Structure 1
Amino acid sequence: MAPPRSLTVDERRVILEQRLQGYVKDGYRVLSQADTTAQLMKPKRFNFILALILLCLGGFPLIIYIFWYLAAKDTTLYLTVEVDGKVRVQ
């Protein structure tokens, strides 16, 4: 069995671009990008409908939700396209 061939940088760049398109559609933003790597960030979102429902439940659950939202962090991903074409997500 022959070892898998190594892809060129241009082939790896195309794979990365295809994968990035899907993440951008899901709400991620590209923070930085090189030929075979990219760093993405998805900002946290405040759910106003949930906040309104929690407010109607007496206000205390809303306070808990606000503290939870303030403690939450944005989601950050680091993508790397390996020489065999596999995309590693960290």
Structure 2
Amino acid sequence: MPESVDVITIEARRAVLDAEVASQVKLGWRVVSRTDTTAQLVKDKGPDGCVTIFLLLFFIVPGILYMILYKGSENLYLEVDDHGNVKRTAQA
């Protein structure tokens, strides 16, 4: 007979997700959407330093525009499974 695998309650899964979201928010992430067991977070990132330096050295105006206008972001998807494990999926 196989061993029974402990499945935690939805309230416990929510508590695990709350703790993980709180730690990610301290690292600069913002919550975009949230359910009891999943959360989607986003973090704004600035312009790439190497590209900026190259553009500033050779093309002053495009370099300045790149620094001002570039708005990139990263996405992080968190999911708590039935056993309380947090799965992280990142997208650049």
Normalised TM-score (structure 2): 0.70
Gaps of 5+ in 1: none
In the aligned structure 2, how far is the partner of 1:88 from the partner of 1:65? 39
The 5-angstrom pairing of residues 1-90 of structure 1 reads 2-45=3-46, 54=53, 58=57, 60=59, 63=62, 67=66, 73-90=72-89
Report the Cα offset of residue 67 of structure 1. Answer: 4.0
Per the normalisation by structure 1, the TM-score is 0.71
Aligned residues: percent identity? 33
How many positions carry a matched residue from both structures?
A: 86
Please give the root-mean-square deviation of Cα atoms over the aligned residues, in Å: 3.4
Which structure shows the bigger proportion of residues in strand conformation? 2
Cα distance per residue 1:22-67 (max 9 Å; x no partner): 11001000001110000000011359xx7xxx5xx84648955864
Q: Which runs of 4+ in 1 moved over 2 A?
A: 1-4, 57-73
Q: Which has the higher contact order (CA 8 A, sep 6+)?
A: 1
